[in-house]
Chain A
Amino acid sequence: MSDRFGLTVFALLVLAARALPAQDELRVLQARRAQLMARVDSLALVVRAQENAARDSNLRIVVHDGAAFMRTTVALEGVGRDALKAATRQARLVLADDTDSLATDLQLSVREYSSDYRVDRRFLGLGGYSLAATPAKFAGAMLAVRFAAVDYSGTTLDWPVARANLTAGIVAAFERAASTRLPAALDGWLNHRVPLRADAAEFWTSLYRALATSSAAVTRRCVGGNLAACRLALAIDSMPTDRLAAWHDESDWQGLAVSAGDPLNRTALYQRMSIDEREQCTKLAKRDACLRMLSLLPPDALRIPVPEVGRAALFHMALERGGPGAFRRLSAGAAPSVAGMLGAAAGESADSLVSAWQRRVMAGRPQSPLPDTTFFLASTVCIVVCGAWAARGKPWT
């Protein structure tokens, strides 16, 4: 009886195993049919997406039909429209009316891509069989940017395309586009990008913290209340010829000697100073050795002490205080220095603008070193609840 039962089960298993490949093929065919149907539907939706996007701004998002993933285009209808709206709103906060003129010259397209790969099991050991058995898939989307008839490198977006990612990509496209309208000096000062990202709630606190713990003494003096130090640390007048002397004091030297510049900047240093000589500075903190190390670094190894986000905050402040037309005044670039350009945009003196920025930064200093009220309340409630729970507990029942 049990033999017969066993044989029956075995026979069924064999039949099932033989039927599986056929099942697979059938499933593939069904999937293709579904894909083709989806493709037809989605093309209509793409057209609608373009129309919606066009209504919201001067921008167009052109969705290229990827071969495999019809579903994306369907999703992009909503995602693309929302992302365009959000990005345009964000750009308008900083660029105001200039947003539309920028958008006219900006062309965006999203191209989906995907590829399947299957690992050839001949190249794998035994452990690779499971990997070889399941095909893997690369999938993503590329946001391509074209501004004033010039192609810029695209931004790769994660799959599936999320609204936030697409918005960030479009904002980045605006930032690059806007920077081309700035005078060269200001463009360089902003690191070739007009920052459009909104400041986070704790931005000023983190900026204060960054400046107060900066490796440049001049920046620390700036947040200590010295306005001249702020102008120097922001480098808005001109680049100092001796950056080390202008921005740093002796306590910064050893740290700078260790970390300033990138590896390419440090080639001369490595060639002309032996390890032992360098260790006179890096380990023994000998003043002369540190000075020699720093002298062997190219001048641009020492960067503007106020980081990019701090400079961007000053830039935003200038546009905000300048009101409508501020970005156009900046673009005109009549002033000889960054300070002058920002002052012109803000419609006030550079000193007054920097002073406002400094006050804002200093106001960002954490108010109290004690834990905040939420922390106090949450902790107290938790402790009281635990105590009450414990007091009600019975060890046996």
Chain B
Amino acid sequence: MSTMYIRQEQYDSDYNFKSTADGNYVFYQSFTPRSEVYLNSVSFLMKRSSAVTGNISFTVHISDTVNNDDQGAALETSSTYNASNLTTSYQLVTFTFAGTTLLTKDSRYVFKCDNAHTANDIIVAFSSQNDYADGILQYTLDPMSGYEPYYDSVTATYNGADFYFVVEFTGSDNTNAIKIIKRNHSNVFRKAYIKRRDATTGQFEASWVEITKDVKKWGSVNVNTDVDRVGRISFSGTNLVMQNIEGRYNPNSNTYSLWYGYSSQQRSLLKIECAFYDQYQSSGVWVNEIIPAEPTIFVGIVSGAIRVSDENEITLPVKPLNQVFRDYLVTDLTGFTAAGPGTTGTAANFIQMLRDQTVGGSYLFRPFFNDTTSYWQITQTSSLTYPALTGTADNLRDMTVWDVIEKLAEAENYLPYITRTGVFKWIPKTEGSTISYEFNGLGVVPNTEYGHTIKKIEAYGEKISDYYNRVSVSYLSAGASAYVATQSTFAISGSNDVWNLGRRSYFVDNDFIGSSSNAASIANTLLTELSSLTPEINFSTSLITHINLLDKVYISYDASDFTSINGYWDAADWDDFFTWDAGRGDAIVLTEQPFKIISININLDTLETRFVARQLDS
């Protein structure tokens, strides 16, 4: 838990007060946290003028940034304090909160006290934006004392520091991650676990079995989207090199094997955790706080040849969870109707059908996704339907479930994303609405919040191979192939992309689409997505595990020789400063440039993360 001592120069805060209809006065104290935090308590200096009774409590609200009063309902109400315990001298009164209300970085909030009291009663020391040099202001809630705040001679300290009021908080998981990533010497751990299947029921065991001590080499895990086609997401697992001196990784028929008495090693679940841990003592006991709190970075299945040798080591091939969809033919699914998949024939319906698919009363895919529906986050798709997507259609022969998922993702401009914790997400490919992380590198004024995290920028520039100015969609109309196309206008002009870059056509072959209007809709969506020539950046960082695909991030990097115009000469014009302009050349200069993360690779042996991100409009 951390303590925020509210000072004007560090945390925007302001008091406010106003009369209410009941004739009492409301006390407001606003503040702005500079990082994402959970609220634990707030303490004010309080006293009374004369005997008072009743309870006092505070509520916390989003604050109006002009008047510093409450906007909307209370986010939470504090514990209560019996006002009769106040004396005529100031004392620190603490109001506690549950520690579950998340306050976002740089948003203004306000504590509000609206307890009805009557004559000459409660006085609260408080701050304003004008009084910092003059000490603590106070204002009485009693209307008889007048409306205007006045200065008080109170000088309060708390843990050795002057304060106006004290907010105690716990950093959110995101805040803690930001802090520990920038730490220049930190502790990191890696762990690996398996879950085996019962030899009789074929169901996974309840608990994970740790195998960390046998891992000799970890490899890397990778996830990226739009690899070679729109909507195509690729995951790669890893190859764990294990010591096998005791024969623990022998086939399940071997009595020394970890799988002895269980079903085959193949399709066993495998989980990898990799995170930071912060060590500190609390009440005489060492605490090892894991950051991020959820350390899982990969869940997959064992899939591939496992061969033993006389070198007492084996390679455990691990594939991502989408392999379970590759291992099943779509024609073996049940639940298709005349409208297509499920009841309405939409793409989301198909994903729901997968989630609920059973064979002999047992779920088919769900056990691989924590055996719960909460690990399937399905965003409803548009009204597009896929009537030709039926279990018996000729065009489905030999197609795996994953093949179909990819085709639907391409058509919908969606992402079939399996998160690092093994949650299946069917989501639009839009980036996050807020900045989730800021990367800083060479030439950037030291960033005290995020630190310096970029090791190297490997490539930056427009990716022409991802640019298309024509999209044609082939579909099935009454059993016959048909197609629609849409394209950007061609003109011989210096500003015409088709003239400048040539005609580049993207072809979608999707027999599930049953109407020209649907095909046209898909073509238009894709053309909008693809016809913008956008820069991409490839860069590496020290270990960062909590970023997800589609997260919106800032990147700041300045590889130019001069980062300031305060040089020695002015190359462009003989201005009165006679200074050089910044020497930019072909260097990469990015200043809080927003990007969307489209590829993440975490190397567990070198503890390095490599990202690919697509530039967004500033």
Q: Do A and B interact?
A: no
Binding site for A on B (CB under 8 A): none
